Amino acid sequence: MRAAMLQVATSILWPVLAHVAWVCLLYAWLTYARKVAVGRGEVDYSSFEFNRDEPPAVARIRLNLANQFELPVIFYALVVFLVALDRVTMFDVIAAWIFVAGRVIHTLVQTLTDNVPLRGQVFMINFLAVVAIAIHMALVALEGAGRP
């Protein structure tokens, strides 16, 4: 029983690591996109110091990369608390994978299109997955508050 619980608890680390890998990929993509933009003469490197006059394709990647440090911070905090309290469930693991899938879809919509309404709709995937994990965390907290 304990081994099965440990396996569920550690399985939530895979979506966390997948998101970290996604962020690393975005850093590489941003670096490449900036180099290409400079090579084409669209901008020079000094423009990136304060994000001035970036080509839209580069700005979209940069803005999405910044998004990876907004809602995901709450996701990471919730995962840390659940792991530390040894309260990770399969529900949390599934919600975490939905969160990561939503982050990937959100990136693709934000970086490859200018469809802001669709981006907002896709964001709801990420948001609702985090809310689901947060509700579980709240239930854990309420359960603990009732203990002597």
User: 109: domain CATH number?
Assistant: 1.20.120.550
What is the pLDDT, as a whole number, of residue 26?
98
Instruction: Quote the Cα angle for 74-71-135, to 5°.
Output: 50
| CA–CA separation, 33 and 99 (whole Å) | 26
pLDDT tens for the chain, 148 residues: list them: 555 556 777 899 999 999 999 999 999 999 999 999 999 999 988 888 888 889 999 999 999 999 999 999 999 999 999 999 999 999 999 999 999 999 999 999 999 999 999 999 999 999 999 999 999 999 999 988 666 6
Residue-number span of the structural domain to which 27 is assigned: 2-145
Domain tally, the chain: 1
| CA–CA separation, 106 and 65 (whole Å) | 11
* DSSP 8-state secondary structure symbol assigned to residue 32: H
